[in-house]
Copies of this chain bind each other. A is one copy, B any other.
């Protein structure tokens, strides 16, 4: 009763009441009229969100399912792909590609850094047989934002397809796929889209569709060509995750209510809030230059047991944040500011983190770290100089 529970992880995220009430609706049939109408409405909104005129496919699986679907439908075993590996999800691209019998070349980027577009350019120049570049927009394990727009400038003038895992980015920071020249953009329902997990969304460019048309899909369950046929009839190939599709209609209505600019401006301001506050606490931001807009990763002071700090934050303050993964386990906090989260939730998370750091190590940030965060938030919303909202929109 003392604290509300606040979920500040990089997915799943808190859900709006409007969406939760829709999720409580009784079932309708996935091959009949009302559902088809909702599928058509969702399609319009998804195209806006993805910045594309292509069909956006809803798939009944997690984000990893959509990554698998992309690789298994766009490439044939034996083809070569270039993977940008700067974290756990870059590694996942590699594992998926290898499982499909692809030859994999990797650009290994230190965790916390973004790939240099020049490195991609050089790799493609050195080996023009590379059929695809596999990258994250936001690398959830590090909070890094990779320069997808710049990489797309390189790939779109070549034969190489650019596949973008936008799982922790779509609905949080811009990725207008047609304008940038992205060939595959995919996401999951449990991040920017303010839904429970279990639904993935995937769109292909025209030239990616042409590739898919030439392939036999590597897995029966993921058949993008057939899925597209069904989506054009307002259905999905196999049984639709009906509840999540109904919820998606509601969440997209909310996300697009004030336009994409307002959506991204909010995320940018929350990011500024988080970064300014954590910096004022004297902590070291992990993604220094190229950072995601839905998650902020921060190094914890040496000697502090990060697992314990995050456990305390939940127990004492009701705030659930994520820790570091793999070799950063116990040394990092990842503060999610995605989904149905506003500035006050983020302040609660930052306060909890500071308080627990003080408890375990006698470590305390500067007295006004919250006010510094809020000042940055206000400045970002007002468009004041400093780190203005990058003006990349598709509408």
Contacts and interface: CB of A to CB of B under 8 A. Distances in A.
Interface in A1-53: 5, 7, 9, 11-15, 20-21, 23-30, 32
Candidate in A7, A21, A29, A199 with the most chain B CB atoms within 10 angstroms: A29
A68 B220 CA distance: 7
A245 B220 CA distance: 25
A15 B27 CA distance: 7
Contacts of A62: 60, 238-239, 241
A314 B240 CA distance: 21
Contacts of A23: 23-24, 243
Interface stretch (A156-164, A190-198, A347-355): A190-198
A96 B220 contact: yes
Interface residues of A, number: 54
A166 interface: no
A297 to B, nearest CB: 17
Candidate in A7, A15, A25, A219 with the most chain B CB atoms within 10 angstroms: A219
Contacts of A90: none
Contacts of A30: 12, 197
A197 B61 contact: no
A271 interface: no
A95 interface: yes
A11 B21 CA distance: 22
Interface in A206-235: 217-222
Contact of A60 (B11, B21, B197): B197
Interface in A142-181: none
Contact of A95 (B61, B218, B220): B220
A319 B240 CA distance: 21
A8 to B, nearest CB: 10
A221 B68 contact: yes
Contacts of A11: 239
A167 B218 CA distance: 24
Interface string A74-96: 00000000000000000000011
Contacts of A27: 7, 12-15, 190, 196, 339
A394 interface: no
A132 interface: no
Nearest to A7: B27
B32 A320 contact: yes
Candidate in A14, A100, A199, A320 with the most chain B CB atoms within 10 angstroms: A320
24 contacts: A7-B26, A7-B28, A12-B28, A12-B242, A13-B27, A14-B26, A20-B26, A30-B197, A60-B197, A61-B65, A61-B221, A62-B238, A62-B239, A64-B220, A72-B219, A190-B239, A196-B242, A196-B243, A196-B244, A197-B243, A198-B198, A218-B219, A219-B219, A219-B221
Interface of A: 5, 7, 9, 11-15, 20-21, 23-30, 32, 60-65, 68, 71-72, 95-96, 99-100, 188, 190, 196-199, 217-222, 238-244, 314, 320, 339
Task: Kindly list the 10 A-B residue pairs having the minimum CB-CB distance in the complex, ordered from nearest.
Answer: A198-B241, A196-B243, A24-B24, A219-B219, A12-B27, A99-B220, A68-B221, A64-B238, A62-B238, A20-B24
